[in-house]
Amino acid sequence: MLSVCIIEGSMVSSNVLSGLKMKKNQTKSQFVAVASIAAELSAVMDVAKEISLAAANAKAIAFRAGEKAKGFQPITDFINELAKDTIELVHAINAHALQLYQLTVDEYRMTEAFNKFELAGVLAKGATYESSLRPALLRAQQKMQECLRQFNSHIAQLLDQLGEVMHPARAARVIAANSRIEASQAGEYLQSLQAVAESVDNAAQVIHDNVQRCRSALSFITLTE
Amino acid sequence: MKMTKIYEGAYQWIMFGRDENKPDNIIDTNQYVVRTANRCLLMEPGGTELFAPMLAAVLHHAPVEEITDLFASHQDPDIISSLGLWDQALPNAKLHAPAIWEGFLRHFGCESIEYVPIPDTGGVIRLDNVELKLIPAHYLHSSGNFHVYDPNAKILMSGDVGAALESPGAPVFVDNFEAHVEKMRYFHQRWMPSNQAKRNWIERVRELDIDIIAPQHGRMFRGDDVRRFLDWFEGLQVGTAV
């Protein structure tokens, strides 16, 4: 025996649709922000490596300059340590950013599922087993909220870590200023040492700017539960 | 979503399709459900876009907790890209799908649902007292491909074999085979890669007792149109793009 029926054209309310659209845009921003953080961090890592190289270079020049650059020698160790600290911090932040990316994927999947379940609920209005959807909807909502909670907590932690990277960057600028003073007393090595000071200063500025961009991107995507 | 009961006995076969709210730029698909006393098998669940209307439609026939099994004939997105969503909705369900596609299908998201790999030789799905046979249909069109045959209801769910590119709202059964041929020709010639696989499949399918061939796109064949389709397909050269 054959029979045909059509579910009565259940109209999906414009509120539900505009809510879905807003959420879609938010998720898009999340993915873009997390990807841009990874790109900015990779640039910070490159700059930190440059500082490390500048420190080695400065050490060699200071060694050749001997007495004339005596004040410069301990500064090179500081520069090197700052570079090392920055690299270590960026490694840790990268690992965290990777977790954040995974959470973004999980959160996207859960939100997508929740939205679709909600839509199914609207479309299933009047269906014999409409109410059986409720446990799945609740489960999806709980999972989605848990993902959001974790996501926001990771964002907060990441913001703290990025704040920590700003410290060595600020210290590097102070060191660069001291380096210039010491370089002025290094006679024929003046130009070489001033170039080192310049490159540390520039690098510190680049790190500062990149980290600042990461922080703004992160602040932008903190989600509301 | 249009729902058509195509078998009613101790259990039911229901065809779902012709979703009016489907975006125009995605191909229309047919989904099939076998509903037994306590279980429900959803065949070719469809793409992500179709998930909500499909779930809503199934709720007219079964509660969520009784949708226990999914079947995917192969790996295409219009067949099963909704897997990640079903995975959230049905954490205790099983997905019966070709073994060779497991690692690929898991990309759609399959953490809770149990993946039951179908070996190349085929297998069975048991739902309460109903036994459905999984008939190999490799290279028609996918390299790992199965159809579902119900010897009691005499229905063969034939995946992409028998598919037609139809206009929206087309009837669910073929009513004029000769006119229908032109809607199937390009699809079969272009999507089916192997004449050898086609001949082998036809030979095996001719031995089955079939009242209805139910493809994943287009219209179903019943009665004499089943034989007409097999004859037509046998004479058709496929894999014509090279």
Contacts of A117 in chain B (CB under 8 A): 52, 55, 88-89
Of the pLDDT bands very low, low, confident and very high (cuts 50, 70, 90), residue A7 is very low
B109 touches A: beta carbon within 8 Å: yes
- How confident is the model over B142-167, as pLDDT tens digits? 999 999 999 999 999 999 999 998 88
In a domain, residue B240? The reply is: no
CATH code of residue B186? 3.60.15.10
How many residues are listed for chain A in this entry?
225
In a domain, residue B24? The reply is: yes
In a domain, residue B65? The reply is: yes
Which residue from A225, A224, A212, A220 is spatially nearest to A30, judged by alpha carbons? A220
Tell whether the model's pLDDT for residue A5 goes beyond 80.
no
Tokens, residue B14: 């229901």
β-pair type (B40-43, B2-8): unpaired
Of the pLDDT bands very low, low, confident and very high (cuts 50, 70, 90), residue A224 is low
Of the pLDDT bands very low, low, confident and very high (cuts 50, 70, 90), residue A20 is low
How far apart are the CA of A36 and the nearest CA of chain B, in angstroms? 24
pLDDT of residue A14: 54
Q: Which of A1, A7, A144 to mutate to test the interface with B (most CBs of B within 10 A)?
A: A7
- How confident is the model over A93-106, as pLDDT tens digits? 888 888 888 888 88
Of the pLDDT bands very low, low, confident and very high (cuts 50, 70, 90), residue A4 is very low
Mean pLDDT, chain A, whole residue set: 80
Residues 6+ away with beta carbon under 8 Å from A79: A51, A54, A55, A58, A172, A175, A179, A200
Of the pLDDT bands very low, low, confident and very high (cuts 50, 70, 90), residue A48 is confident
Q: What's the whole-number mean pLDDT along residues B26-45? A: 97
Contacts of A110 in chain B (CB under 8 A): 88
Residue A3, classed as helix, strand or coil, is strand
Nearest neighbour of A109 by CB, restricted to B62, B91, B109: B109
pLDDT of residue A22: 55
- How confident is the model over A184-213, as pLDDT tens digits? 887 888 888 888 888 888 888 888 888 888
In a domain, residue B133? The reply is: yes
B214 within 8 A of B32, measured Cβ to Cβ: yes
Range of the domain at B218: 2-235
**Beta-carbon contacts below 8 Å between A and B:** 94
Return the percent helix, strand and coil in chain B, to nearest 5: 30, 25, 45
Selected residues 119-158 of chain A with any CB under 8 Å from a CB in chain B: 119-124, 127-130, 132-133, 135-136, 139-140, 143
pLDDT of residue A68: 78
- How confident is the model over B171-199, as pLDDT tens digits? 999 999 999 999 999 999 999 999 999 99
pLDDT of residue A1: 42
Of the pLDDT bands very low, low, confident and very high (cuts 50, 70, 90), residue A152 is confident
Which residue from B122, B127, B97, B117 is spatially nearest to B34, judged by alpha carbons? B127
Distance CA B102, CA A6 (A): 34
How far apart are the CA of B178 and the nearest CA of chain A, in angstroms? 24
Tell whether the model's pLDDT for residue A19 goes beyond 60.
no
Tokens, residue A204: 């510190």
> DSSP of B93-161, one letter per residue?
-EEEEEGGGHHHHGGG--SSSEEEEEPTT-EEEEETTEEEEEEE-TTSSSSS-EEEEETTTTEEE-TTT
Cis peptide bond prior to B96, omega within 30° of 0: no
Contacts of B86 in chain A (CB under 8 A): none
pLDDT of residue B135: 98
β-pair type (B130-136, B123-127): antiparallel
Distance CA A173, CA A154 (A): 29
Q: For chain B, how many structural domains are there in total?
A: 1
Distance CA B73, CA A90 (A): 47
Of the pLDDT bands very low, low, confident and very high (cuts 50, 70, 90), residue A27 is low
